[in-house]
């Protein structure tokens, strides 16, 4: 491929949709996004390369804009990478955060304000990513993931709009949905995901890659790095 493809009819996009539709897949929110045709997918080259970042970033920006115009449940933006498919959990985590940093730098470089409802400090329990002025939660997937729900056959990152979680809380349905996902994940994996936590308890950055990390771990993320390089 010579470019990212913003089309859900790409073979990898179709494979991802089948992965989500599988009865065993635990995330009912993703299933709802797909059923409502609100899962937008981009297929890119290499998660270890910045090759397609300038194509992925507008997709995130559009996802934020679309949600601002029409804040309905459930909406997801998915980036599927053709490879590499042999990354272990640590290598995937590094590559995923490299892509996140590069994409966040583009917002910072262009002076796009960080979503004021969340904290840009990755060590804060109120941290979330922000693109186009909207907060996002990221879910990494790859062949080497220890959690079966994260074990897609090529690297991928799912960006979910954070405001959706607040909408679910306001509607009184968040805890029920969360409990359903947790139970389904336990059924699939045989044990509770040790990294799961509610927003506000600990930094959600610890959950992004799917790798189990200890208390000393800190996300390799600087929300101001794009501005700093621009100033230099």
Q: b/e string for 71-100 if b means 16 or more Cβ within 10 A? A: eebbbbbbbbbbebeebebeebbebbbbbb
Euclidean distance between CA atoms 189 and 206, whole angstroms: 19
Q: What is the mean pLDDT of the chain?
A: 90
Check residue 229 and give its pLDDT: 39
> How much of the chain exceeds pLDDT 70, in percent?
92
Q: How confident is the model at residue 231 (pLDDT cuts 50, 70, 90)?
A: very low
Check residue 33 and give its pLDDT: 95
The per-residue pLDDT for range 26-67, each reduced to its tens digit, is 999 999 999 999 999 999 999 999 999 999 999 999 999 999
Check residue 103 and give its pLDDT: 97
Across residues 105-123, what is the average pLDDT?
Answer: 95
Check residue 174 and give its pLDDT: 78
What is the model's pTM? 0.92
Across residues 135-155, what is the average pLDDT?
Answer: 97
The per-residue pLDDT for range 25-35, each reduced to its tens digit, is 999 999 999 99
């Amino acid at each position: 491929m010579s470019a990212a493809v913003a089309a859900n009819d790409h073979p990898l996009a179709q494979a991802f949709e089948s992965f989500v539709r599988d009865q065993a897949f635990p995330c009912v929110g993703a299933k709802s996004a797909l059923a409502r045709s609100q899962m937008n997918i981009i297929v890119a080259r290499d998660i270890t390369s910045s090759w397609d970042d300038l194509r992925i970033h507008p997709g995130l920006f559009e996802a934020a804009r679309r949600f601002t115009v029409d804040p309905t449940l459930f909406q997801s933006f998915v980036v599927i990478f053709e490879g590499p498919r042999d990354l272990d959990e640590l290598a995937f985590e590094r590559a995923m955060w490299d892509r996140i940093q590069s994409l966040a730098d583009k917002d910072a470089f262009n002076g796009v304000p960080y979503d004021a409802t969340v904290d840009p400090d990755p060590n804060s329990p109120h941290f979330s990513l922000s693109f186009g002025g909207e907060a996002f939660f990221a879910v990494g997937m790859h062949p080497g993931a220890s959690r079966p729900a994260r074990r897609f056959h090529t690297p991928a990152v799912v960006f979910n709009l954070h405001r959706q979680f607040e909408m679910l809380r306001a509607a009184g349905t968040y805890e029920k949905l969360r409990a359903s996902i947790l139970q389904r994940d336990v059924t699939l994996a045989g044990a509770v995901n040790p990294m799961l936590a509610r927003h506000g308890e600990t930094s959600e950055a610890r959950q992004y890659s799917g790798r189990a990390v200890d208390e000393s771990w800190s996300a390799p993320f600087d929300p101001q790095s794009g501005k700093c390089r621009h100033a230099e």
